[in-house]
Amino acid sequence: MGAGKRSLTTVTMALACAAAILAAPGVAYAEPTPGPTPPRTPSSTPASTKDLEAIRKKLDKLYHDAAVATDAYNAAEEKTDKQSAQIVELARAIVQGQAKLDKLKDRAGAAARAQYRSGGLPPEAQLMLSGDPQEYLDGAGRVRQGERATKGMLAELARTQKDLKQYAKDASAQWQKLEANRKAKAEAKKKVTKQIAAAEKLESELEKDEKDRLAELEREAAAKAQTAWLDSGVLEDIKGEATAAGKKAVEYATEQMGKPYEWGAEGPKTYDCSGLTSQAWAAAGQAIPRTSQEQWKQLDRVDIKDMRPGDLIIYNSDASHVAMYIGDGAMIHAPRPGRTVTMAGAGSMPILGVVRPAA
């Protein structure tokens, strides 16, 4: 493996002596239960531990809501991309169908003109006027063939007209969905920016020592949750080994450590939580849903005891966060705004369940 890359084995060995990393600041969301937070300014009396704990919970709530809105934004963006592509395909089908219809109309017109030139005489009259009965029979055969061809052409003409109407109807419906999802995307963006701005404002009102104490509270909360998870004996049951694709996904995620979180981002310089996991599995050769909620809905679910490196851990009751399990009770994720892609304890947040991208 080249310089700068970490193998799965290296990561696993590092985890054994990285207890401090597992409780890094900002790596965990608590279940949103914010308490009242008194308004403060940088010049006001320093916050007590109780006040800072309330601030920590409020920040968790704000960033949790931002994560939910980010998922909604990503889902709307994915839908608009698909609908735009479908509209392009429908437009292409309409153009091709119209060209086909024009050709069929030309053929139908030519057939009508040929029938007009023949005078439209009944078969008996044509036989009487013919000096050669065999010639008449040969001509009659050709006429029957022409009639069958004309009927087939008219049927195809009708089908093409019907298809064009359906294409136009489908295109109109897709335009309406596209506009609805564009509005949903814009609304989600407003919610994301509002929640993040509120969180940043709240943090900006803290003095440096208060921010340090707040970071310590975050570490303590993460460590407490991780310890409780490990004390349950869960690691005794987790013995799954990574597949070849899982190793590639873990390697990709590991290489992104230190890169900033950015909502709606899929790399290569910044990521949000599901942007990291979806791109990691794309690098491993498998496409998965873009958002954490769709990853939870669509991917195969596995018991925690069957978890293996490369699997995705879905967090919070609303599936608003996702991380990649890398073994030895640890995971890698893009936590939230203001943080970077990092390693953390797999149990440092409330686990909803585990899903597996690999077939």
Side-chain-facing half-sphere of 235: CA atoms under 13 Å: 16
DSSP string covering 184-201, please?
Answer: HHHHHHHHHHHHHHHHHH
Least confident piece of the model among 18-27, 156-165, 254-263, 280-289: 18-27
In this prediction, residues 132-155 reach a mean pLDDT of 56
Banded model confidence at residue 114, pLDDT cuts 50, 70, 90: low
Cis geometry, peptide bond prior to residue 39 (ω within 30 degrees of 0): no
Q: Pick from 99-113, 186-200, 216-230 the range whose average pLDDT is largest.
A: 216-230
Decide if 17 is catalytic.
Answer: no
Judged by DSSP in three states, 256 sits in coil
End-to-end CA distance of the chain: 26
Token readout for 15 is 């985890």
Q: What is the pLDDT of residue 10?
A: 41
- Name the catalytic one among 273, 276, 314, 343: 273
Q: Is the pLDDT of residue 355 over 70?
A: yes
Least confident piece of the model among 184-198, 243-257, 295-309, 338-352: 184-198
In this prediction, residues 121-144 reach a mean pLDDT of 49
Percent of the chain with pLDDT over 90: 32
Banded model confidence at residue 147, pLDDT cuts 50, 70, 90: low
Q: Answer for the pair 28, 218: CB distance below 8 angstroms, yes or no.
A: yes
In this prediction, residues 83-102 reach a mean pLDDT of 75
Provide the 8-state DSSP code for 261: B
More confident residue, 100 or 296: 296
- 28-55 tens-digit pLDDT: 333 444 444 455 444 445 556 667 778 7
- Name the catalytic one among 56, 321, 336, 356: 321
Cis geometry, peptide bond prior to residue 260 (ω within 30 degrees of 0): no
Q: Answer for the pair 111, 150: CB distance below 8 angstroms, yes or no.
A: yes
Q: What is the pLDDT of residue 234?
A: 86
Q: What is the pLDDT of residue 112?
A: 62
Longest dimension (CA), the chain: 120
How far is the C-alpha of 106 from the C-alpha of 103, rounded, in Å?
5
- Run of H or E including 354: strand 351-356
Least confident piece of the model among 44-48, 210-214, 286-290, 322-326: 44-48
- Name the catalytic one among 248, 308, 333, 356: 333
Q: What is the pLDDT of residue 27?
A: 39
Q: What is the pLDDT of residue 25?
A: 39
Q: What is the pLDDT of residue 210?
A: 86
Judged by DSSP in three states, 161 sits in helix
In this prediction, residues 68-92 reach a mean pLDDT of 77
Token readout for 242 is 């990574």
Judged by DSSP in three states, 241 sits in coil
More confident residue, 94 or 305: 305
In this prediction, residues 204-226 reach a mean pLDDT of 87
Q: What is the pLDDT of residue 103?
A: 76
Banded model confidence at residue 65, pLDDT cuts 50, 70, 90: confident
- 97-109 tens-digit pLDDT: 777 777 767 766 6
Q: What is the pLDDT of residue 223?
A: 92
Decide if 64 is catalytic.
Answer: no
